Amino acid sequence: MTHVEEHKPIYKKIAIDIANKIVKGDIKEKDKISGRSVLASMYNVSPETIRRAVALLHESEVVSVSQGSGIEVLSISAAERFIIKNKDNEYLISVKENIRTLLEQHRKLDEQIQKSFEEITDYVERFQNISPFTLIEIEINNKCKILGKRISETRFFQNTGATIIAYRRNGEIIISPGPDYIFLEGDIIVVTGIKDVYDSVYDYIY
């Protein structure tokens, strides 16, 4: 049972069940459906719940309700439309819930990435006075000689003595890019290396 089904009101479940019986032929057009008290006993719910279920079917012109005549089935096609409409609504609710969940997961992941990047930056800053390594950022523009190439193709470390520990792209921070990272215009690469690392990297890529 899906999350949506679990939280669907009981009167709506009953209305859909009655509509299904009409479509399947268990209840025919022009048939009289049992009174509210009988339906309440059949579905083991209160008469008020049955009233709300029947009201839904009445609004959708699946049945007619009149004093004295009771509940009469009007249309199989209307019952079909009622079922489809409710399934579509359930689908949209389910999609909205999935999107909300994915956005929340994405937000948490962004927070974790940002925290990790800040920890790396803080670590380097705290130890830069006693460490020979330097942390720099360089933007990749359209004049870059290795634009569109992978790290593995450029032999980046062998040619610069530097290591790319992260890059920024479209506002996102990606930590520890692998050998398949491709240098794209607009990226800002975060590099660590010995004291002249900026000059060696800049000279190599430009």
As a whole number of angstroms, the distance between CA 194 and CA 162 comes to 7
Say if residues 156 and 162 touch (Cβ distance below 8 Å): yes
Q: In which domain, by residue range, is 140 found?
A: 132-205
pLDDT tens digit string along 177-194?
888 899 999 999 998 887
- Whether residue 120 lies inside any domain: the answer is no
- Whether residue 175 lies inside any domain: the answer is yes
Q: Are residues 92 and 137 in the same domain?
A: no
- The CATH number of whichever domain residue 186 belongs to comes to 3.30.70.1450
- Whether residue 30 lies inside any domain: the answer is yes
Q: Is 192 helix (H, G, I), strand (E, B) or coil?
A: strand
Q: Are residues 140 and 89 in the same domain?
A: no
Predicted TM-score (pTM) of the model is: 0.40
Looking at residue 30, its amino acid is K
Domain boundary among 96, 124, 150: 96
- Whether residue 165 lies inside any domain: the answer is yes
pLDDT tens digit string along 3-44?
444 456 889 888 888 888 888 888 888 888 877 778 888 888
If you average pLDDT over every residue of the chain, what do you get? 82
Helices (H) and strands (E) in the chain, counts: 8, 7
Our CA dihedral for 10, 12, 14, 18, rounded to 10 degrees, sits at: 180
As a whole number of angstroms, the distance between CA 165 and CA 96 comes to 36
Asked if pLDDT for residue 160 goes beyond 80, the answer is yes
Distances (CA, A) of 44 to 36, 50, 73, 180: 11, 10, 22, 62
Q: Are residues 8 and 89 in the same domain?
A: yes
- The CATH number of whichever domain residue 23 belongs to comes to 1.10.10.10
Q: Are residues 24 and 77 in the same domain?
A: yes
Asked if pLDDT for residue 99 goes beyond 90, the answer is no
- Whether residue 69 lies inside any domain: the answer is yes
Number of domains in the chain: 2
Q: Are residues 198 and 139 in the same domain?
A: yes
Q: Are residues 141 and 80 in the same domain?
A: no
As a whole number of angstroms, the distance between CA 182 and CA 178 comes to 10
Distances (CA, A) of 68 to 29, 38, 56, 57, 82: 19, 15, 20, 18, 25
